[in-house]
Amino acid sequence: MDDLSAIRELLSAPPVSPEVVADGRTRLATAFASTPKPANLRSLEMTEETPVHQGKRRAMRTARWTALGVGLLGAAAAVTLVVTSGTSAGAPGTRPAAQAPSVQPIKKLSAQQVLLAAATSAAKTPADGAYWVRSSVTGKQRVEPGGKYTLEMTTLLETWVSQVPGKPTWFINQNLGIKPATPQDEEAWRAAGSPHSWTYPGTTVTNKSGKSIKTRSVTLQSKPGEPVTTRVDGDKTDSSVGKPMTRAALSELPTTPDGLRDYLKTVIAKQWGAEYAHVDVNTELYQAGVHIIMDLPAPPNVRAAAFRMLASLPGVKAEGEVTDPLGRTGQAVSLPHSNGEGRLIMNTATGEPLAFVTTIKEARVFVAIKKARWTDDKPDLPASRRGSDDPPA
């Protein structure tokens, strides 16, 4: 068994007896001493931070972090690793002398160990089917108009990307409702009369030409909305890594961490243009790698390369075992930035991303993946649609 396989299995291993713990101490030390390190680590010059997500890359600098997701309040849980086997070294048929139980040092996996284990798992995932389907829940927080408590708005988005040229991509979007963000916010909400709608007044903004524009007021409702389907033709669907969102196009991406990093740096430089000199390239690469892992139907070897590229980035740190916004347990890594952090939570045994949670000052946004897989099924589209009403082929 290689070191990374051991790490993946041990992350979810049940508690073991003190005798087994003592028996595995020596082999554990040897295994960790030989854990491979990411090759060709590259220190990138840190400049002014300017994060942005997919779509129009010249939006507000914090929009990129916000679109990916925000801040998780989870304490890192320690992981005790033990290598076990059925017998110990010694003469055949002999039983080792009993050893007194000892307290084992608690060892937290490094960010590199977590990401490399996820990469090994991701490289083995299947990638065959007529559609790539991804279902996610996004949560955003907003202070109510009176400033007394914070609301959390959640949205369900299901994406069906056809792998047949010329076939459309379908997006099914549903507002899941609005509620107080925390128990403390719920208390303040009840004290305010338990309202179920909130109206935000319009504001005056100035556009690039210097003209003042008055925005309209917006009323938010607590009750969930109906699902709505949007059709986008295949040749119009694009990702923020310079490739259309199809398996064939994404298979052209480099499959090594160094190659992927160099490719993404050229994409980032093109997107930012003259502003590239003020971009925190390390942050941009982290965002692009998470985007490939979380959002795109990339082939397994490309996803594995993205995990390995993240492992090579300076500043990425391990957060230990945490609970994601949907209540699932996973290993987390994060990259701090000047206003907060971006935290990736993953199942290292399968290489599947669970969530990306972002904090920007006091704001929090998350994207949690419910499912992301290949299938030969067809999308079950709601009656309410935007765009073409043609059924999926």
Give 216-255 pLDDT, tens digit per residue.
898 999 999 999 999 988 666 677 888 888 788 889 999 9
If one compares 209 and 133, the residue with the highest pLDDT of the two is 133
Q: In this predicted model, what pLDDT tens digit does every residue of 52-74 receive, in sequence order?
A: 333 444 343 444 444 443 322 22
The pLDDT value given to residue 242: 84
Assess if residue 183 is contained within a domain.
yes
The pLDDT value given to residue 359: 87
What would the mean pLDDT of 353-372 be, rounded to a whole number?
Answer: 90
Assess if residue 138 is contained within a domain.
yes
Long-range contacts of 35-41 (CB under 8 A, 24+ apart): 35/3, 35/4, 35/7, 35/113, 36/3, 36/4, 36/116, 37/112, 38/112, 38/116, 38/257, 38/308, 38/311, 38/312, 39/257, 39/258, 39/312, 40/257, 40/258, 40/312, 41/312, 41/314
Q: In this predicted model, what pLDDT tens digit does every residue of 146-176 receive, in sequence order?
A: 999 999 999 999 999 888 877 888 999 999 9
Q: How many domains does the chain have?
A: 1
Assess if residue 392 is contained within a domain.
no
Assess if residue 393 is contained within a domain.
no
If one compares 25 and 149, the residue with the highest pLDDT of the two is 149
Can you say how many angstroms the Cα of residue 244 is from the centroid of all Cα atoms in its chain?
20
- Strand-strand pairing, 363-375 and 352-360: antiparallel
- Phi first, then psi: give them for residue 13, nearest 5 degrees: -70, 145
Assess if residue 252 is contained within a domain.
yes
Enter the pTM of the model: 0.69
Domain that holds residue 221: 3-90+99-386
Residue 124 has pLDDT above 50, yes or no: yes
Assess if residue 108 is contained within a domain.
yes
- Strand-strand pairing, 169-180 and 150-162: antiparallel
